[in-house]
Structure 1
Amino acid sequence: MINRERIVNEFLKYVQIDSPTKQEGNFAKFISEELKNIGLEVYIDDAGEKVGSDTGNVIAKLKGVKDAAPILFSCHMDTVSPGVGIKPIIKDDVIYSDGTTILGGDNKAGISAVVEALKVIKENNIEHGPIEVAFSIFEEGGLFGAKNFDYSKLESKMGFVLDSGGDPGQIVVKGPAQDKINAKFIGRPAHAGVAPEEGISAIQVAAAAITKMNLLRIDEETTANIGVIQGGQVTNIVCPEVEIKAEARSLSNEKLDKQTAHMVECLKEAAEEFGAKVEIETERMYGAFVIDEDAEIVHIVQKACENIGLKAFTSSSGGGSDTNILNGNSITAVNLGIGEKKPHTLEEHLKIEDLVNTARLVLEIIKTVA
């Protein structure tokens, strides 16, 4: 039933509508009209005003023709840089950019699959329950769109996010929590050649703190990283200030608490050791989610995959997605593989077969739930 030619053409059209993070407005207007033309009721919330985007999240609803629980399909509209002026090309049934930008399959492949499935439902009068769609802004860099969804507009207690790089059939049932840890060491400047002993090197303090830390792979569920160090301008002054930006992630909220506390303690101990000051900010960006592999939502995807000849498999993710936020807002959600390969790079690509199979899976999930 999925129209291969149409979904490919629509995907090519979607990625050529620029929608970098916080500038999703043009695409939001376009996709809103697409959804209205299919017959959905469309609402744009006020998330954009809260996070500095030129539009809010797109929330749409299709009334059910059968008495069934509503289900939600979620994708994000924004793309990473360089993502302006995308020129898609097709080679051997694989879609690439021209090599000067990302492709934007992350996440417009998911959007294309949802929209195509909805068109097929309407064209073929397929019976279905209530369907909700949520296309978020500002997912990249902090999941801020999903954090600011107007959840009063969503009735679904079950959600399917289409934003993982695995093959169609992948069901991500575990995702980590993440903490951001920012610190500023404040030492004391001095002439590095005349009186260095009068100074306190913020660089030296930062180095001591980092040396004390357990970093990178902590265990099978936990990671930590120092990503940015900034400080100093010239070599003849003992550096008075250094800023560090770090993160920690874990599939266990308890393990994350422990890792973050360890890193904070290392920062404080180093400052005390050298007589410096340190200002520390920590923020829980999102919580972890763990869905039981015997949960109803997992069985629904497995059954849908079986019905259309896809191999279903469960996995965990090391990155955050809107799935984390939905689960934190009482919507049981999994993240589904849609075949987006090498996202966030100039080599990003998408097999047409995976695009079609993702749409087939969305359609079959709708039929299975109904």
Structure 2
Amino acid sequence: MEVDAAAAVERLLRLLAVPGVTGQEEAVARTIADMLREVGVPPEAIRFDDAHQRIPEPTPVGNLIVQLPAHLPRRSKSKARGHADPILFATHMDTVPLCAGAEPKVEGRRVVNVHEGKTALGGDNRTGCAVLVTLAAELIRQGLPHPPITLLFTVREESGLYGARYLNPADLGGVVMGFNVDGRNAAELTVGAIGADRWSVDIYGKAAHAGVAPEKGISATMILALAMQEIFRKGWWGKITQNGREGTSNIGYIGDAQGRSAGNATNVVTDYVHVKGESRSHDAQFVREITSAYQAAFQRAARKVKDCEGRTGRVVFQSRLDYLPFRLAEDAPVVQRAVRAAQAIGLDPVLRVTNGGLDANWLVKHGIPTVTFGAGQNEIHTVQEFVDLDEFDKACRLALALATLA
């Protein structure tokens, strides 16, 4: 399973240079479509779905879907049968906002950012995009036998796995299994991932002069503090272990609804605070219990903070499922195919479960068992990000092996 490594790296550099932070994927989507046509994919095989019309955040373009028909060698039907079932290769197009303004360059066997220390690079997940374009290029260039293949490039993965969540599985050509490219090492095969809720709470108090008549106010800040004191005391914050079950939680944002500071003067009792947080666990029911613990704590805290007339604060708590956990069995056909393909190119595959969310969470929910493997991403979401070109090359070869394995 050899690929044109120089051409693959050129594709990666080209993609890394295109802006496309989450929710602004148009330019990178157009570039990917152009690159696919350049390597010989027919224009009619390339299209966008309408997932962006269902995503509840501004999203100007849908998922990019490419369908490659089967290429079977001239042989008996019995020998060709192993190449019959359609398979999916997926990755996401967007990057985190920290990647805005990145400029890639090659240093030895790494791709780094010209502006290292100022912006992230975007290897997460332009490595995956380059792997999928290279897969199409090599299948066409080498004329290798393969089943029907669907390539899926999703939008808004970084801001909530929205592209994978809102896609219509019927658009994927009846695929029976999937392989998602997202991560560090090609030999690390992710067969399970955590589930998560995202939640927010609006805390309503009452403003008053903090020096003249603080007793007339209801402090939204104090409601937050009391709620978090309860959460901490009862063991629902950070790494959580309750009755043998494990999970995590975090508050990631405290301010107002417009992204500004909660409160704007020390001499005014804060009348409003907006909070955003998350709950995670490999146990779907436990995720809900963590979220419920936060909701109850905020409601109790609001009843405790009163003004001089006995009026209390008020909270509005909202939560939504971010993604469900999953765990594929080691003997599942998709896992066995991934293991055999990795071994075929000389890798020593390791099955792992991650505490982060992946597009695979929603693909599995859509009925497509999906294994995720890495493509050289390192120090993602930081200004020290780089791409390991040796791992990127392994990922390109692994994708080709997965596509052509009988």
How many angstroms apart in 1 are the aligned matches of 2:68 and 2:246? 39
Q: Which residue identity is paired with 1:157? A: V
Q: Which residue identity is paired with 2:70? A: G
Do residues 80 (structure 1) and 102 (structure 2) align?
A: no
Secondary structure of 1:283 counterpart: strand
Number of equivalent positions: 368
Q: Is the 8 A contact 2:376 2:390 kept in 1?
A: no
**1:256 Cα offset (Å):** 0.6
Identify the match of residue 38 of structure 1 among 29, 40, 59.
Answer: 40
Identity %: 31
Q: Is the 8 A contact 2:199 2:278 kept in 1?
A: yes
Distance 1:263 1:84, change over 3 A: closer
**1:117 Cα offset (Å):** 2.2
Q: Which residue identity is paired with 1:38? A: G
Aligned to 1:326: 363
Identify the match of residue 101 of structure 1 among 119, 136, 156.
Answer: 119
Do residues 301 (structure 1) and 323 (structure 2) align?
A: no
Distance 1:2 1:221, change over 3 A: farther
Q: Is the 8 A contact 1:81 1:101 kept in 2?
A: no
Secondary structure of 1:74 counterpart: strand
Aligned to 1:162: 181
- RMSD between aligned alpha carbons? 1.6
Aligned to 2:209: 191
How many angstroms apart in 1 are the aligned matches of 2:147 and 2:136? 12
Aligned to 1:233: 264
Identify the match of residue 249 of structure 2 among 224, 234, 244.
Answer: 224
How many angstroms apart in 2 are the aligned matches of 1:33 and 1:75? 17
Secondary structure of 1:114 counterpart: helix
How many angstroms apart in 1 are the aligned matches of 2:268 and 2:112? 49
Aligned to 2:76: none
TM-score w.r.t. length of structure 2 = 0.87
**1:18 Cα offset (Å):** 1.6
Q: Which residue identity is paired with 1:244? A: V
Deviations 1:243-263 (A, max 9, x none): 221110111101111111111
Q: Which residue identity is paired with 2:399? A: V
Q: Which residue identity is paired with 2:322? A: M
The answer for unaligned runs of 5 or more in structure 2 is: 73-80, 256-261, 306-311
Do residues 254 (structure 1) and 285 (structure 2) align?
A: yes
**1:151 Cα offset (Å):** 2.3
- Counting only pairs closer than 5 Å after superposition, residues 264-279 of structure 1 correspond to structure 2 as 264-274=295-305, 275-279=312-316
Distance 1:85 1:278, change over 3 A: closer
How many angstroms apart in 2 are the aligned matches of 1:308 and 1:354? 13
Q: Which residue identity is paired with 2:182? A: D
Deviations 1:43-77 (A, max 9, x none): 11122344432322110111112441111000111
Secondary structure of 1:38 counterpart: coil
Deviations 1:127-158 (A, max 9, x none): 11111100011111111111222322111121
Distance 1:202 1:151, change over 3 A: same
Do residues 128 (structure 1) and 146 (structure 2) align?
A: yes
**1:30 Cα offset (Å):** 2.2
Aligned to 2:62: 56
Q: Is the 8 A contact 2:68 2:150 kept in 1?
A: yes
**1:221 Cα offset (Å):** 4.0
Aligned to 2:294: 263
Secondary structure of 2:378 counterpart: coil
Distance 1:120 1:289, change over 3 A: same
Secondary structure of 1:56 counterpart: coil
How many angstroms apart in 2 are the aligned matches of 1:172 and 1:2? 24
Q: Which residue identity is paired with 2:264? A: Q
Q: Which residue identity is paired with 1:39? A: V
Please say which of residues 39-48 and 281-290 is displaced more in the overlay: 39-48
Please say which of residues 354-363 and 110-119 is displaced more in the overlay: 110-119
TM-score w.r.t. length of structure 1 = 0.95
